[in-house]
Amino acid sequence: MFISFEGIDKVGKSTQISLLVDYLEKRSYQVVQTCEPGGTRLGKEIEIILLESSVGQISDTAELFLYLADRSEHVKKVIKPALNKDKIVISDRFADASIAYQGYGRRLNIHWIEKLNKRATQGISPELTFLLDIDPELAKKRGKEKDRIENEEIAFHQRVRQGYLEIAHLYPNRVKTVNGQESIEDIHLAIRRILSEYLQALSEPSHYGQHPLV
């Protein structure tokens, strides 16, 4: 099973992924925790260029292609092999992030990004995506360290947030929006509930062979 977490910076993705991974591992599920950018060796190099780069300004299209290169390698080397071994893959960001950041944030053509995403992902899509949603003004107040993208103006982050909400609206069965302003524990419980409902639905007679979590 493939799960992704999405949302703007500091919304709580890393915090929630770590809680969910612990929860699943305690119940003996085999989980592969990964991320974009930086889920592979090549990806780590790309991440340095993207986020901490001293190369200066990166053009929007070059930025998109760097993320796609990271994703392509990530799918081939990490995600596909883990899914083939029936592991639960949990990725901190995936293809939706390019639509939200480079499509809505940078205003590149969304249909074009969708096509390129399809190539980079080899058609693999998360079954469940948790979209943590928060006002960028509030996110900004959490923590101080900033990378190149976090340093963008607030209007950029507002567009990214809007993009994510539109993706959630387009794919309501896959993308579950969770209010990132709730407490860490409440968000964790909401995520567990959504996952459990999803697995329960799978375990109904027409989907033989799956087991509910709780």
Ligand X SMILES: Nc1ncnc2c1ncn2[C@@H]1O[C@H](COP(=O)(O)OP(=O)(O)O)[C@@H](O)[C@H]1O
Q: Which residues bind ligand X (CB under 6 A)?
A: 7, 9-15, 142-143, 183-184, 187
With respect to ligand X, which residue has the nearer C-beta, 184 or 201? Answer: 184
Stretch that binds Mg ion, among 10-18, 51-59, 80-88, 106-114 (CB under 5 A): 10-18
* Residue 14 binds Mg ion, judged by CB under 5 A: yes
Angle between helices 184-203 and 13-26 (to 10 degrees): 50
Contact of 148 with 46, CB cutoff 8 Å: no
* Residue 146 binds Mg ion, judged by CB under 5 A: no
- Three-class secondary structure assignment of 79-127: HHHHHHCCCEEEEECCHHHHHHHHHHHCCCCHHHHHHHHHHHHCCCCCC
User: Shortest approach of Mg ion to residue 115 CB, angstroms?
Assistant: 28
With respect to ligand X, which residue has the nearer C-beta, 82 or 178? Answer: 178
Of 194, 175, 195, 191, residue with least CA distance to 183: 191
DSSP-assigned letter for residue 129: E
Residue 97 contact among ligand X, Mg ion, none, beta carbon within 5 to 8 Å by kind: none
* Residue 147 binds Mg ion, judged by CB under 5 A: no
With respect to ligand X, which residue has the nearer C-beta, 31 or 199? Answer: 31
Stretch that binds Mg ion, among 11-19, 79-87, 180-188, 189-197 (CB under 5 A): 11-19
Of 163, 56, 17, residue with least CA distance to 101: 163
User: Shortest approach of ligand X to residue 143 CB, angstroms?
Assistant: 5
User: Shortest approach of ligand X to residue 155 CB, angstroms?
Assistant: 19
Residue 184 contact among Mg ion, ligand X, none, beta carbon within 5 to 8 Å by kind: ligand X
Size of the site for Mg ion (CB under 5 A): 2
* Secondary structure (3-state) at 20: helix
d(CA 205, CA 201): 9
Stretch that binds Mg ion, among 5-13, 21-29, 83-91, 204-212 (CB under 5 A): 5-13
**Alpha-carbon dihedral of residues 170, 174, 180, 185, nearest 10 degrees?**
160
Contact footprint for Mg ion (CB under 5 A):
13-14
